[in-house]
Structure 1
Amino acid sequence: MLRAGFAGLALAFVATARAEDACARPPALDPAGREGAAQGRVQAVNERLELTLDDGRRLKIAGLDPPRPTPDNPDLDVRSGERLAAWLAGKDIVFRLTAPRPDRWGRYSVEAFAPAQAAAPSAVPVAQAALDAGLARFEPGAAARPCRTFLLAAETAARAGALGLWADPYYAIIAAGDHESFAEKAATSVIVEGRVTGVAKDGFRTTLLFGDRRGFDFSVTILQRNVKIFTAAGVDVEKFQGQTIRVRGLLDMRFGPQIEVSNPDEIEMLPQGQDAAAPKTAPQR
């Protein structure tokens, strides 16, 4: 079990199935492999939440960003892997390939489905169950895009309940004005929330500004070649001005706190007025 019990979790995904079968319902097995649907038995789960099947194949669950050790929880990654293994090890899973070939580390990116409990005939999505239990954060990308809404909803529920990694203050969402937290988390994957106060453009990039002090206040960078990806997705980056957004990515502190994003999946639009916890007082310059 990841949360209180998979029987309840399975029922929760019935509604999801009605809304989007492809995300909540396992694919039909295709012996010819034309649709990328297959089956295998899980032999092991590591601290990166990767699955090793008994035939040696390694699977990366699309949409899962595994936790890293933190100052208060140096074995957080190991314990998350153990919890997922307690559910999946020795069980048969059904999975759908999200890419035809393995990545450079030999892993197949997949959407995986596993029985909610030993006697349950139905299977639930592994990614949503893991996010719902706080075993990982959502990882944006092409592989997870079709189920992004449901994966984010599962992450939100776990965060609201302070489950798993969300019980660790290190993983709290950072308010855009919280300079102290930025200093502590340089070169790590973070989630930042705040209101875009301005949009600056030059020949190389578009920058979303979260304050008036360039190089000191938080910003989000979108390289010009990636602006085209936003445009193709129907997103006008200039319309982010005045909006409250949540952005996730690697925190770069070399030229002030900033995150570079490459596609719209890395940004969430939030209701006006919603923001992260009040930031700590920033030092005066």
Structure 2
Amino acid sequence: MKNAVILALLITFATPFTGAPAWAQTSGKMGANMGKNMDPNVASSALPPQSFSPLVETGAGTVALAVDGLRLTLNDGQIVELSGIEIPGMNEMGAADPSNFPLQAKQALDQLFVKDKDIILYQTRDKDTGRVNRMGHTLAHVVQKPGNVWIQSYLVRQGLARVAPTLRNPELADQLYKIEQQARDEKRGIWADGSAYAVVKTTEAINPSPRFIVAEGTVVKAAIVSNRVYLNFGDDWKKDFSVGVEPDVRRALARAGIDPLQLQGKTLRIRGWVRDYNGPFIDLETPAQIEFPDGSKPLPAPGGAFTVEAPKNPETDTDQRPNAGMDEDSQNDQQAPARSGPVRE
């Protein structure tokens, strides 16, 4: 805890002081759109009513300080991490973004908790999964009292955070997606013109360097090999954007009413950590990573049929080959890789 407090103090003291709210300040290097897109009045009155029924209320506390844009230290020493969202630049390597969204998010929390510091915690219903990360920090959706401000939605609405559901914390993604779309429509924060974090189109070249992205495009081909489904978003699977779906995720998709093999021809918005595997590639970990911009969902096969057995003749059955139909002359079938890359619990 001592190190967390020291880190928070260093960040606070490094923040320039002006008469304007601290979280709304922007550095001289920020794009012209950044400051004007901030709205200090966006609070519970500007956010739609939310349902926390997928979660359970597990406790309450009083905020001592914001360690950064994702973590709060409570008076009892507990560190709470905001689940279900991520802040661009906070977990990425490479050149620093002059917009400095991690600092802006921290300043937003500083301003929000100047007076009303009491909070309520909502966590996963399974007390053994998704409530604590590897650092021992509490993972939760946080609501500020007495204004009933849902902190995750507050940061997303300001354009300071993106929705980032994980395998252990997929809840409330649908609600946050609607709020994120509002911020995107109004070009707030990370969605401002010229931002490095705009939605990437799968028809354009996508840098496969490891980082969190939001990609949108139409599935050109859905194929299965060795129990793994591949969603290919281009004609050349060796360089175009693709998504991999493991059997356990495919079962979770079926429970959510989605058959990944029926996604061909569908326009999707996919988010997650991209990596280089025959071009830019995302490993799907939860159905919550998929958005359907048109509001539709492909239904499972009639009768709930759902096959996950490994194919018997993958060499002769072209439908069982990875990216089948994408490159019929290729002799180098794509092999299902182990999941890798950054993981945020």
TM-score by length of 1: 0.78
When you count helix as a share of all residues, which structure comes out higher?
A: 1
Q: Counterparts of 1:215 and 1:94 in 2: how far apart (Å)?
A: 48
* Alpha-carbon spacing, 1:135–1:107, altered in 2? closer, same or farther (3 Å): same
User: Which runs of no fewer than 5 residues in structure 1 stay unpaired?
Assistant: 28-34, 116-120, 273-285
2:121 maps to 95
Q: Counterparts of 1:87 and 1:143 in 2: how far apart (Å)?
A: 27
The structure 2 residue matched to 1:135, chosen from 153, 160, 173, is 160
Of all paired residues, the percent bearing the same amino acid is 26
1:41 maps to 62
More moved, 204-213 vs 73-82: 73-82
Q: CA deviation at 1:52?
A: 0.8
1:197 maps to 220
Q: Secondary structure at the match of 1:127?
A: helix
- After superposition, residues 126-275 of structure 1 pair within 5 angstroms as 126-141=151-166, 145-167=170-192, 169-179=195-205, 182-183=206-207, 186-271=209-294
State the superposition RMSD in angstroms.
Answer: 2.6
Q: CA deviation at 1:85?
A: 1.9
Q: CA deviation at 1:124?
A: 1.7
Q: CA deviation at 1:51?
A: 0.8
Q: Does structure 1 retain, via aligned residues, the 8 Å contact 2:164–2:272?
A: no
Q: Counterparts of 2:99 and 2:245 in 1: how far apart (Å)?
A: 33
**Greater Rg by CA:** 2
Q: Does structure 1 retain, via aligned residues, the 8 Å contact 2:250–2:260?
A: yes
1:31 maps to none
* Alpha-carbon spacing, 1:143–1:130, altered in 2? closer, same or farther (3 Å): farther
2:39 maps to 4
Q: Counterparts of 2:213 and 2:52 in 1: how far apart (Å)?
A: 31
Q: Counterparts of 2:185 and 2:204 in 1: how far apart (Å)?
A: 20
Per-residue CA distance 1:36-94 (angstroms, 9 max, x = gap): 43221212223341111121101111221122166542633122212222212561112
User: Which runs of no fewer than 5 residues in structure 2 stay unpaired?
Assistant: 1-20, 24-37, 296-345
Q: Counterparts of 2:243 and 2:52 in 1: how far apart (Å)?
A: 34
TM-score by length of 2: 0.66
